[in-house]
Homo-oligomer: A and B are copies of this chain.
Amino acid sequence: MNKDELKDMLNMVADGTLSVDDAVNKIRLQPYDDLDFAKIDTHRGVRQGADEVIYGAGKTAEQICKIVEHILAKSAKSVLITRMSADKAEVVAKRLPLFYDAVSGIGIAGERKEQEPVGNIVIATGGTSDIPVAEEAALTAEYYGNRVTRLYDVGVSGVHRLLDNAQVLADAKVVIAVAGMEGALASVIGGMVDCPVIAVPTSVGYGASFNGLSALLSMLNSCASGVSVVNIDNGFGAGYFASMINKI
């Protein structure tokens, strides 16, 4: 149950369509359901404006299914699943309606929401290899109802590609800059726009990229103001954070 659903319900109470007791029951469930191996945060929609998301990497296909089924039955019409491998997705898809994107590992179980996207989140990558992380961010942002503009392979070693898209960047309400190796993309974009830039270092590269450490440090040290950083490869976190800002 998210904030809007809560408001709807309270309006129903206000105009008598729903009895106070029924409303109380709906609201005053304990704030999470206990599946023993997982405590599902059914009030997260109310408290945080977005329903619980399942981090698929550390869970078995069986555990994912159980949590999804529980959530779909109790508190939401769809569930976002991140970092789900193709073989887990196959298992889940047999039991549940599932949209799955193999590039990003994003799955959406249940009914996909039909909604008019709002605002504008521009997602830029330094190279082609950064696309999986960028797509994790893009699909997350789209899941939450944001308009997303993709701007891939515009790394700073050919800065004219970036400048050529200055207008695309200028039209953004938020920018997500996804880059591995030297991670300079965030700084250059940060100096070009007047909206918040969320930097996502990726583990793309080799040698002294140290699995994304180089890009991470680089982005944290960005000389441009208006840049903040999420974990290496954390496309979901960037997409979610951008959504928060874009929808203000």
Contact = CB atoms under 8 A, between A and B. Distances in A.
| Oligomer copy total | 8
Contacts of A126: 223
Interface string A210-244: 11111111111111111111111110111011001
Interface in A120-178: 126-129, 131, 152-161, 163-164, 173
A20 interface: no
Contacts of A159: 159, 163, 188, 191-192
Contacts of A223: 126-127, 155-157, 181-182
A244 B227 CA distance: 10
A163 B129 CA distance: 27
A31 interface: yes
A37 B155 CA distance: 12
A207 B203 contact: yes
A218 B153 contact: no
Contacts of A155: 187, 223
Interface of A: 3, 30-32, 36-39, 41, 43-44, 47-50, 53, 55, 57-59, 63, 83, 126-129, 131, 152-161, 163-164, 173, 180-184, 187-188, 190-196, 198, 201, 203-234, 236-238, 240-241, 244-245, 248
Contacts of A195: 244
A164 B221 contact: no
Contacts of A63: 128
A182 B53 contact: no
Given A48-B191, A183-B184, A214-B217, 12 more contacts: A41-B161, A47-B192, A48-B226, A49-B194, A55-B127, A83-B206, A156-B184, A156-B188, A157-B188, A157-B224, A214-B214, A228-B237
Contacts of A208: 212-213, 216-217, 220-221, 231-232
Given A37-B153, A184-B218, A244-B196, A160 B32 contact: yes
Contact of A193 (B48, B154, B226, B245): B48
Contacts of A228: 198, 228-230, 237-238, 241
A75 to B, nearest CB: 14
Given A188-B184, A248-B248, A164 B218 contact: no
Contacts of A153: 37-39
